[in-house]
Structure 1
Amino acid sequence: MEMNANYTSFVAVGDSFTEGMSDLQPDGSYRGWADLLAGRMAARTEGFRYANLAVRGKLIGQIVDEQVDVAASMRADVVTLVGGLNDTLRPRCDMGRVRGLLEEAVGKLTPSCRQLVLMRSPGRNGPVMERFRPRMEELFGYVDELAARHGALVVDLYGADVLGDQRMWDVDRLHLTAEGHRRVAEAVWQTLGHDAEEDWRALLPSAVRPGWAARRVGDLRFARQYLGPWIGRRLTGRSSGDGRPAKRPELLPYVDPRS
């Protein structure tokens, strides 16, 4: 890895995590860690270019079919690939197929960029996490293996206790808050060899846990607004990303909208 390298371009590949859900902006769009990272990289390099091909709900097979070849053709300095977690959350998941598709993606992306970055994705502490933890850890073990073989960097978000804190997650319990995305951007920034601006692993202050009644109300609201529709899409073979275009499909100069 080139420490403090002057990267001139960045392409992000993945699903809702990379699209930026749920770092919601006033105009109804999502920002997220990849946009935040691009803004920081652009501040260092004139003419910096950025593309974000991520689309919510995508499985690893769809990411390979729809995003990987496009990303490879862009020949960016940095490519991030985060995928496979949606597969592990399905009732039936062929982990052998997931591993094969990840290997295909990494094999195509590695020679097309200066630095490939993979991630061990975070998970919200709770019963759902415990149910799927074995699959997730199998996935992350393979991510580590691929990184070692191909010279990719790995950002270990899964190992950061703070990102398991329920306060870092939106009410849908699937996507990080703005603060969570900000910390992920810092984690990737540091992994790329840049000087730390903060301790992204720092724990949140202690808080009083909501009472039983408040937790049950929250559980019911979650089930009605998010869990039910999510199950419905699974049963009918639909996805929240069906028909949705890539967030930023072309590798173009990036201007931070906050500047």
Structure 2
Amino acid sequence: MSLAAPHPYARYVAIGDSQTEGVGDGDETRGYRGWADRLAEILAEGRPDLGYANLAVRGRVTARIKAEQLGPALALKPDLVTVMAGMNDLVRPGFDAARIAADIEEMFTELTGAGARVATVTFPDIGRIVPLARRALPRVLELNARIRAAADRHGVVVLDTFPHRVTTDPRLWSRDRLHASPLGHARIAAGMADALGLPGHEGWCGTLSPLPPASVLGAVTGEARWLAGFMGPWLWRRLRGRSSGDGREPKRPALAEVRAPDHERA
């Protein structure tokens, strides 16, 4: 655990999609932790009375995050809000960076107007994580630029992941390559803490030891398994107009005390 740092936040609310919900860091049986929970734990070290709510739901595109989560977030009267939105839009047909960024900026406007400190994040080069997504780089660059510009207009803190090569290291991503691994979620939480000015988290973007080179056969086999195990089911849901978040509700809809995971409790 890092050294506790004092901060002014007493009511933290996280909104977003599966990354903020915590998919990739836990499972359906034990529940998901994720970077927002981990950030709340960091914040609670310096402020034990911290109240934390997580309204994120997997599969949500930006327009639905705004429609479904912004109002409840404002009703909780937060003094800190994290907004992570846009990844589900990036990988869908009909991508419109201006429209997505406008929805994100509207959330920035409403939240900062209510007096909350707001923090957001840019996206890494997803083509380095999923080779089939290499053509999406122009989308990533445009959306990141629009997010940074909107954040600058509203005084929103930005965790800029794109410039850091470690953010595409496969060890920071789960087997589905769509969600961060436990290590990846921990790095995002530390990066957000650093962006918010909490000391002791500056090393979040440090590189990892080199990976051993993969054989051609191993690489081809890995791609085939990923296509069959993850990409195929994802495409099937899209074709049926279904989402992984259908029927799901936020995991922490109300502000509540933050508790460390069982394995970290004394």
* Residue of structure 1 in register with 2:116 after alignment: 114
The TM-score with structure 1 as length reference comes to 0.93
Q: Is the 8 A contact 2:172 2:183 kept in 1?
A: yes
Aligned pairs for 1:1-259 (under 5 A) are 5-24=7-26, 27-124=29-126, 125=128, 126-197=130-201, 199-257=203-261, 258-259=264-265
Name the aligned partner's letter for residue 234 of structure 1. Answer: R
SS in structure 2 of the partner of residue 186 of structure 1: helix
Partner Cα separation in structure 1 for residue 16 and residue 65 of structure 2: 6
Deviation at 1:76, TM superposition (A): 1.0
SS in structure 2 of the partner of residue 230 of structure 1: helix
Deviation at 1:196, TM superposition (A): 2.0
SS in structure 1 of the partner of residue 26 of structure 2: coil
SS in structure 2 of the partner of residue 199 of structure 1: helix
Partner Cα separation in structure 2 for residue 155 and residue 45 of structure 1: 22
Structure 1 residues 171 and 235: CA distance shift in structure 2, 3 A: same
| Deviation sequence 1:127-168 (CA, Å, 0-9, x none) | 234211111111111111111111110001122110111222
Bigger drift between 117-126 and 147-156 goes to 117-126
Q: Is the 8 A contact 1:4 1:192 kept in 2?
A: no
Deviation at 1:4, TM superposition (A): 5.3
Name the aligned partner's letter for residue 207 of structure 1. Answer: L
Q: Is the 8 A contact 2:12 2:52 kept in 1?
A: yes
Partner Cα separation in structure 2 for residue 74 and residue 19 of structure 1: 18
Deviation at 1:25, TM superposition (A): 5.3
Deviation at 1:248, TM superposition (A): 0.8
Bigger drift between 98-107 and 243-252 goes to 98-107
Percent identity between matched residues is: 37
Q: Which runs of 5+ in 1 are unaligned?
A: none
Deviation at 1:215, TM superposition (A): 1.3
Q: Is the 8 A contact 2:191 2:202 kept in 1?
A: no
Partner Cα separation in structure 2 for residue 36 and residue 245 of structure 1: 20
The TM-score with structure 2 as length reference comes to 0.91
Bigger drift between 22-31 and 55-64 goes to 22-31
Partner Cα separation in structure 1 for residue 167 and residue 138 of structure 2: 18
| Deviation sequence 1:196-235 (CA, Å, 0-9, x none) | 2451111111121221111111111111111011111111
Q: Is the 8 A contact 1:72 1:113 kept in 2?
A: no
Deviation at 1:32, TM superposition (A): 0.9
Partner Cα separation in structure 1 for residue 193 and residue 101 of structure 2: 27
Structure 1 residues 158 and 4: CA distance shift in structure 2, 3 A: farther
Partner Cα separation in structure 1 for residue 211 and residue 183 of structure 2: 16
Partner Cα separation in structure 2 for residue 244 and residue 213 of structure 1: 39
Partner Cα separation in structure 2 for residue 251 and residue 226 of structure 1: 34
Deviation at 1:81, TM superposition (A): 0.4
Name the aligned partner's letter for residue 37 of structure 2. Answer: D
Q: Which runs of 5+ in 2 are unaligned?
A: none
SS in structure 1 of the partner of residue 178 of structure 2: coil
| Deviation sequence 1:167-190 (CA, Å, 0-9, x none) | 221110111111111111111111
